[in-house]
Amino acid sequence: MGLEKSAFIFDMDGTIVDNMAFHTQSWITFFEQRGMTIDAEEFFRTTAGRQGKEIIRAHMGEHLLDDEVLALNLEKETVYRELYGPHRKTVGGFDELIRRAKEQGVVLAVATAAPNANIEFTLDGLDLRRHFDIVVGAADVARGKPNPDGFLLAAERCAVPPERCIVFEDAPLGVEAARRAGMRCVVLTTTLPANAFDEFENVIAVAADFSELDIDALFAD
Ligand SMILES: O=P(O)(O)OC[C@H]1O[C@@H](O)[C@H](O)[C@@H](O)[C@@H]1O
C-alpha cells in the first residue's frame, strides 16, 4: 500500500456480523402483529441499510409522528436484540483483517443505519469499538442508505478523501450509497449471492468472509 492515508469504512449489520436474517425475522414479526405480510428477500433488498424510522414510515404511513415512530422502532429493535443476542459473533476473518489493517495504518470506521442501542449491542457487546477511530450511526445523519450521508460523514471525520476509502457492505442499498459517495466497495455475500451486485461498477471484490481479502490488492485497484 502507498503512503497516502486510507480508510476502511465498515457497514455493521450483515457485514461485521451476519445478522440480517434476525433483522428480517423481527420485521416480519413486527408487521405480522399489525396484520401486514412482507416477503423476506424483497424486504431485504429494498430496506437493508435504511434507518428503522424510514422503513416504518414507508410501510405504515408518512403521517406518523416522530414519537410514534420512535416507539415502534424501539419495539422492533428490542425483538431483534432478543433474537440475535445468543448468536452474536463476527464474520470469519474479521479480527485478522482488522489486525492487518491497523499494522498498515489504515484508518478504521463504521457507518451503519443502526440506532445507538444496536451499535452498543454489537460493537460493545463484542468488544469491537476499541478497533474503530470513527463510528457513525443513524443518530448522526438524517438519511439512511442509499443516500451517501453516513459514508461521507465517516470519511470527513476520518479526514480521508472518498477515493481513498473502501467500504465493506452486504446490501445493495449500501453499495449504492458507497457509489454515490464516490467510494469503492467490497461486498460480503452474507445475505445475497455475488450476482445480486452485478450492476455496481464500484464493487472491487466479493467475498464470503474477510479471510479471503488481501489489503494490498484492494488498494492496488
Ligand atoms: O446495514 P446497516 O447499515 O448496519 O443497517 C442496519 C439496519 O438495517 C435495516 O435493514 C434494519 O431493518 C435496521 O433495523 C438496521 O438497523
174-210 pLDDT, tens per residue? Answer: 999 999 999 999 999 999 999 999 999 999 999 999 9
Pick the atom of ligand 1 nearest to 145's CA. 3
Cell of 213: 481479502
| Tally of CB atoms within 10 A around 214 | 11
pTM for the whole structure:
0.96
- Its ipTM equals 0.91
13 lines ligand 1 (CB under 6 A): yes
> What are the φ/ψ torsions at residue 11 (nearest 5 degrees)?
-65, 155
Q: Alpha-carbon distance 108 to 80, whole Å?
A: 26
Query: What integer pLDDT is reported at residue 1 of this predicted model?
Result: 55
Do the domains 20-86 and 7-18+88-220 match in fold? no
Query: What integer pLDDT is reported at residue 2 of this predicted model?
Result: 56
Q: Where are the domains of the chain?
A: 7-18+88-220, 20-86
48 lines ligand 1 (CB under 6 A): yes
Query: What integer pLDDT is reported at residue 4 of this predicted model?
Result: 84
- CATH class for the region spanning 20-86: mainly alpha
- DSSP-based three-state secondary structure for 159: coil
Nearest to 45 by CA among 197, 151, 205, 200: 197
Q: What fold characterizes domain 7-18+88-220?
A: Rossmann fold (3.40.50)
Cell of 8: 476502511
Nearest to 80 by CA among 53, 128, 117: 117
Give pLDDT < 70 ranges for the chain.
Answer: 1-3, 221
